[in-house]
């Protein structure tokens, strides 16, 4: 059964994911200052959040930290992964390899969340177009993290969000 979610709820959920990613990547840039990847990812995530806020009318209400709405479970997975990564960062219990692996999973879950959000959206072509762009940006971030891991010889399972590719 597909549960319909209002457009403002979808926008808020996606903004929350982008803001959580920006927060985590900003923290990782402080933990691993020699690696420019984190600053680049933080900037891209902040840009996504601002872009979404503008797309929804520029309202800058408080962002949700966690959505109790059962209709967006994939978005909640992304938020949960961001929280787990932030906790490991705060506990200073994070190697570069752990950070990269967890960041790759975070981007994967964000892309999956955006994809499934598109699949449950009402037939609003503008919303679908915006979310398609979010998916593409998340996939690009995943490829950046994956390339970074490959350059450093860090084992990975690749980047395959559970969505069909065009």
CATH of the domain at 143: 1.20.1260
Q: Is residue 164 part of a domain?
A: no
Decide: pTM greater than 0.85: no
Distances (CA, A) of 139 to 21, 126, 133: 14, 20, 10
Question: Which pLDDT value is given to residue 26?
Answer: 94
Beta-carbon contacts of 65 under 8 Å, excluding residues fewer than 6 positions away, are 16, 79
Q: Is residue 2 part of a domain?
A: no
Domain that holds residue 56: 7-151
Question: Which pLDDT value is given to residue 116?
Answer: 63
Distance between CA atoms of residues 163 and 17, nearest Å: 18
Distance between CA atoms of residues 63 and 31, nearest Å: 25
pLDDT band at 89 (very low <50, low <70, confident <90, very high): very high
pLDDT band at 166 (very low <50, low <70, confident <90, very high): very low
> For the chain, how many structural domains are there in total?
1
Q: Which two tokens stand for residue 16?
A: 């929350």
Instruction: Give mean pLDDT, residues 122-131.
Output: 61
Q: Is residue 156 part of a domain?
A: no
Q: Is residue 110 part of a domain?
A: yes
Q: Is residue 48 part of a domain?
A: yes
Beta-carbon contacts of 114 under 8 Å, excluding residues fewer than 6 positions away, are 14, 17, 131, 134, 135, 138
Distance between CA atoms of residues 38 and 102, nearest Å: 13
Question: Which pLDDT value is given to residue 74?
Answer: 74
Displacement of CA 150 from its chain's centroid (Å): 21
Q: Is residue 158 part of a domain?
A: no
């Amino acid at each position: 059964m597909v549960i319909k979610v209002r457009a403002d709820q979808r926008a808020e959920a996606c903004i929350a994911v982008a803001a959580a990613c920006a927060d985590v990547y900003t923290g990782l840039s402080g933990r691993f200052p020699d690696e420019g990847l984190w600053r680049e990812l933080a900037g891209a995530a902040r840009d996504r959040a601002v872009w979404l806020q503008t797309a929804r009318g520029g309202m800058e209400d408080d962002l949700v930290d966690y959505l109790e709405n059962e209709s967006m479970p994939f978005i909640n997975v992304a938020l949960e992964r961001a929280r787990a990564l932030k906790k490991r960062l705060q506990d200073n219990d994070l190697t570069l390899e752990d950070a990269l692996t967890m960041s790759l999973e975070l981007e994967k879950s964000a892309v999956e969340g955006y994809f499934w959000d598109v699949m449950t959206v009402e037939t609003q072509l503008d919303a679908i177009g915006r979310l398609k762009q979010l998916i593409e940006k998340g996939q690009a971030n995943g490829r950046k993290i994956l390339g970074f891991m490959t350059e450093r010889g860090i084992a990975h399972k690749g980047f395959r969000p559970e969505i069909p590719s065009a």
